Amino acid sequence: MEKGNSIYQGKAKELYLTDQPEVLWVEYLDQATALNGVKKDKVVGKGQMNNQITSKIFEILADQGIESHFIEKISNTEQLIKAVGIVPLEVVVRNFAAGSFSKRLNVEEGVKLPFPIVEFYYKDDALDDPFINDMHVKVLDIASDEEVKEIKELALKVNEELKKLFASVNIKLIDFKIEVGRDAQGNILLADEISPDTCRLWDMDTNDHLDKDIYRRDLGDLIPVYEEVLNRLNTL
């Protein structure tokens, strides 16, 4: 497989073409951002942590019957993925109150929700990723009703598997964000990454943060925390 030109540089990943049109090459970068890029730092070692964690999680999800764009990890910082057209939605699932949910609705962080909820945010940096509902998704022609139903079902299924997976390494899954894409046949496929950048993970015994809130809230050094998550996942 040959690495081609860079086609997209995101906040924490860079995407390259390959000699196969249906395959892309991803490099996870040593970059941390928060507040839609307003806070930004180089964090040496973060790229390889997130690549390894995401690869491991996508492999486990595939074993449980949840396909994603992930093909294979090709180095500590790189993977091959299926090319998909990303649906411009950040799909958030919440099991416990935290972050923007707590702020917006004045619910204390850590309060268990009676059932998991799915939220949509419109992926648009210029608009600061606004919170939207199913009707906005339809009106903006982001996805059809059928796709919205499918995306919600997928998000909740991923939640059930991730909850089990993290519980087995003594981690509580507070909330997370996924992205989905459409493959060449128009099928909805789980995409992007699943890592401590995109999940809130609390230690089950201590409620210590094992995720990007360490960086967002200036709680300390991010690398040992991400390493802890990777080490725990590697015991599986």
Q: Does 29 bind ligand C5P (CB under 6 A)?
A: no
CB of 177 to ligand C5P, least distance (A): 3
Q: Does 46 bind ligand C5P (CB under 6 A)?
A: no
Torsions phi, psi of 75, nearest 5? -160, 180
In this structure, are strands 131-132 and 171-182 parallel, antiparallel, or unpaired?
unpaired
Q: Which residues pair with 132 in a beta bridge?
A: 120
DSSP annotation string for 66-120: --BSEEEE-SSSEEEEE--EE-SEEEEEEEE--HHHHHHHT--TTPEEEEEEEEE
Tokens of 212: 């990007």
Q: Does 101 bind ligand C5P (CB under 6 A)?
A: yes
Which residues inside 155-214 make contact with ligand C5P, applying CB under 6 A? 175-177, 198-200, 212
CB of 35 to ligand C5P, least distance (A): 10
Task: Considering only the stretches 15-23, 69-77, 91-99, 182-190, report the one whose residues sit in contact with ligand C5P under the rule CB under 6 A.
Answer: 91-99
Output 56 or 212, the one with its CB closest to ligand C5P: 212
Choosing from 14, 129, 134, 203, the residue that interacts with ligand C5P (CB under 6 A) is 129
Taking CB atoms, the residue at the shortest distance from ligand C5P is 99
CB 192 within 8 A of CB 116: no
Choosing from 76, 100, 133, 144, the residue that interacts with ligand C5P (CB under 6 A) is 100
CA atoms of 118 and 36, how far apart (whole Å): 21
**Binding footprint of ligand C5P on the chain (CB under 6 A):** 90, 92, 98-101, 129, 175-177, 198-200, 212
